[in-house]
Amino acid sequence: MTWTWFHRLASPPYVYTLAARLTPWFAWPAALLIIGGLWGGLVMAPPDYQQGDGFRIIYVHAPSAWMSLMVYTTMASAAAVGLIWRIKVAHAVAASCAPIGASFTFAALVTGALWGQPMWGTYWQWDPRLTSELILLFLYLGYMGLRAGLEDTQRADRASAVLAVVGVVNVPIIHYSVTWWNSLHQAPSVMRLAKPTMALSMLVPLLMMLLGFTLFFAAILLVRLRGEVLSRERAASWIREIVNA
Amino acid sequence: MNRFGSPATHPVVQAGATHARRAPLWAATDRAAMFDAARLALARDLTLAFRKRGQLVQPLAFFAMVTMLFPLAISPELSRLREVAPGVVWAGALLASLLALEFLFRDDAYDGTLEQYALSGQSLTWLIFAKTVAHWLLTGVPLALMAPLAAFSLGVSAAAVPGIVASVAVGSVALSLIGSIGAALTLGIKRSGALLSLLTLPLSLPVLIFGARATQLAITGGPLAAPLELLAALAVLAVTLAPLAAAAAVRISLE
Amino acid sequence: MHDKCLDVENLHLWRGDRHVLRGLCFSLSSGECLQVTGANGSGKTSLLRTVCGLMYPEEGRILWEGQDVRGDLATFHCSLVYLGHEPPLKAELSARENLHYWIGVRRRVGAAALDSALERVGASAWCDRLVRTLSAGQRRRAALAGLALSMVPLWLLDEPTTNLDTEGQQLVGGLIAEQLERGGMVVAAVHHELPATVRDLRRLELSA
């Protein structure tokens, strides 16, 4: 019995309608959490004794960085499912994730640079986390580039799935080696984007933002997924039924 | 619908019919051993490379040229160049091996021999590993031997030579293997050079980091066991996992 | 010695949006040759590649000796040889060397067997010249020598008579006839009829 819902998830028409129904359930809580988190972080939380008001960018930077990694893992998992069990909807999910993840990565880099300016006086430092984020951005771009370069959708799906799985295995290795590299050349001044020690009033809005971003990702993914399914199944009869209804 | 010829026009041959059938000659027992098959794949690639010797030199010439760019772009002072020597040598080696990667599967995919490997009944993973070993012997080893020359031109002393050769030799094993994945994924894409670089470089960064560190320690005379061992660990990991991914990618490109 | 048998059940294959193979079924036993005809784009090559296991059908099964080939593709591959449009030869090797590597990866091949296969296809005169100096017909003959050498029950041939003169086409017919007499089977995708030396052809016509 438990496998029936799994099999239904592999059916594009079912996923198409399910995604439409689920989107508001993710979108509204996401909006509330993000607004609440922003208000709590930007207005309510007290300024950090060391960094002043400059630390507040963490309320956007940390969730973006967290999401960039989480989306990559989701993308790789969906791709692996599609590769092993040959489920086309899983490939559609992976394809939909990629631009979202790349955007989160880009946002993390930009907010990291903006944070760096008051902290270090320059917009860019080869901080291990920022460097890892930059490499992750290239992993996303490589994935999207491979998809774009292969015309046959089925081959693009499967090849990019292999790439995503290889990438997800490499991410810890890359992160470790970048941290190691950075530790070798530690300058006397504080180079890292140091998280300030968190009081509860600072932590709660951060967690709200994290959860809000996650739900936001889910909502956007569902919207993109519907578009992706439509584009892939454009020749199928069930699309015509929906259009004519 | 698809139509069939009617079976009535085809006489059924009974056992013991008047014209004797020739006994089939196939025997499942003379299948080639996996190691022999891999050895043949390696031998073929090496033979082919030596018949097209001109192509072998290209990555090395590229490496020499890249090394030459830096003194011209930075400064002729050897003391300054010595500081950047590890980075220059490794950036050059990485770019040169990227250049050579395009040839790894391209010809075989084009003339159908890669397809025959997939249909040979042998493990495609092993055959691809053999091809990658051939590629390393033809690219990585010469680069490792040329790296000291590049380093000399940047003011590095002769005492650093063993360390530099060792780090580039071990690192290029991982580079060839990681690159084989990208090469297999981009099979058949026209002008795939930039995409291949985009796919391979992020995955090769750990090799660059540890390799450059090992080279730097070799130049300054420090203990390079740690980064060299990390390079070896990466190479071992690549040997175990990369051929699997490359074989999967090759099968996908044949679909 | 037991009879070999190839069964194709309800094969459906899509290439992109095109439904190329639509519920194809056939059965082939020892000593039978299936001639597949059809216009360009009707799916002849796709059918051969799906039977090989290179392409994955959306629905349907391929059975070899009663077993689904997906269960053990490697063993199935040991029992077949596939010859595509282009002969799988490296230009910088001689015909003999090509066969040595191509078939040697599959099974142990002695020098005597190589020589006799090359002689069978009339290649003894030029078998040690580099393939890039050979004509298209000669390359095709060299590939046919590989067929004779591979000693497998199932041959999957995609347009085996391309680039061959009348004598060459008779050679193809002769090779196929010998294979059938040995109890093997052949599936050949062709534009024109196979030579008359192949008797009792089964026919399959694919529509685009």
Note the pLDDT tens digit of each residue in A29-57: 999 999 999 988 888 877 776 777 777 88
- Return the half-sphere exposure (C-beta side, CA atoms, 13 A cut-off) of residue B218: 30
Compute the mean pLDDT over every residue in chain C, rounded to the nearest whole number: 90
Structure-block tokens of residue B53: 């010797």
User: How many residues would you count in chain A?
Assistant: 245
CB neighbour list of residue A9: distance below 8 Å, 6 or more residues apart: A15, A89
Residues 6+ apart with CB under 8 A from A104: A64, A65, A67, A68, A71, A213, A217
Task: Pick C93's closest partner by Cβ from B36, B47, B123.
Answer: B47
pLDDT of residue B29: 60
The CA distances from residue A168 to A208, B20, B106, B108, in Å, are: 27, 61, 26, 29
Contacts of B10 in chain C (CB under 8 A): 32, 200, 202
Q: How far apart are CA C89 and CA C92, in angstroms?
A: 9
Tokens (6 digits) for A164: 């995503």
CA distances from A140 to B132, B250, C207 (A): 26, 22, 42
8 Å CB contact of C153 and B24: yes
What's the pLDDT at C17? 80
A138 chain-B contacts, CB cut-off 8 A? 198, 201-202
The tens digit of pLDDT for each residue in C106-141 reads 988 889 999 999 999 998 999 999 999 999 999 999
pLDDT, tens only, C150-163: 889 999 999 998 88
Q: What is the DSSP letter of B54?
A: H
pLDDT tens for each residue of B1-19: 343 443 433 344 344 343 4
Q: Is A137 on the interface with B (CB under 8 A)?
A: no
Q: Are the C-beta atoms of residues A210 and A62 closer than 8 Å to each other?
A: yes
Chains linked to A by 3 or more Cβ pairs within 8 Å: B, C
Chain A residues 152-211 with a CB less than 8 Å from chain C = 152-154
What is the distance between the alpha carbons of residues B236 and B170, in angstroms, rounded to a whole number?
10
**C184 close to B (CB below 8 A):** yes
pTM recorded for the entire structure: 0.90
C-alpha A224/C-alpha C24 separation (Å) is 37
Residues belonging to chain B: 255
Share of chain C above pLDDT 70, in %: 99
ipTM: 0.93
What DSSP line would sit under A41-97, residue for residue? IIIISPPBTTTBGGGGGHHHHHHHHHHHHHHHHHHHHHHHHHHHH--HHHHHHHHHH
Contact between residue C82 and residue B6 where contact means Cβ atoms under 8 Å apart: no
What's the pLDDT at C1?
Answer: 41
Q: According to DSSP H, which parts of chain B are helical?
A: 34-51, 53-73, 78-111, 113-118, 124-135, 141-153, 161-185, 193-220, 225-254
For B188-222, write each residue's pLDDT tens digit: 898 888 999 999 999 999 999 999 999 999 999 88
pLDDT for res A53: 75
pLDDT tens, residue by residue, B167-183: 999 999 999 999 999 99
Contact across the interface for A154 and C16, Cβ inside 8 Å: yes
Query: What pLDDT is recorded for position C202?
Result: 87
pLDDT single digits (tens) A173-202:
998 888 888 887 765 444 455 555 667 778
> CB B203 to CB A166 under 8 A?
yes
The average pLDDT across A108-137 equals 88
Mean pLDDT of B118-138: 95
What is chain B's mean pLDDT, rounded? 88
Tell me, what's the pLDDT at A55? 77
Chain Cα centroid distance, residue A83:
21
Please name the amino acid found at residue A85: W
Nearest chain A alpha carbon to C58: A86
**Percent of chain A residues topping a pLDDT of 90:** 57
CA C15, CA C21: separation in Å to the nearest integer?
9
Which candidate, B75, B82, B88, places its Cα nearest to that of B220? B82
Q: How far apart are CA A170 and CA A73, in angstroms?
A: 12
- At A199 the pLDDT is 73
pLDDT at A111 over 60: yes
Q: Predicted confidence band at B23 (pLDDT cuts at 50, 70, 90)?
A: low
B48 touches chain C (CB under 8 A): yes
Residue with tokens 């690159």: B179
What pLDDT, on a 0 to 100 scale, did the predictor assign at position B65?
Answer: 93
Mutation to test the A interface, candidates B83, B181, B205, most A Cβ within 10 Å: B205
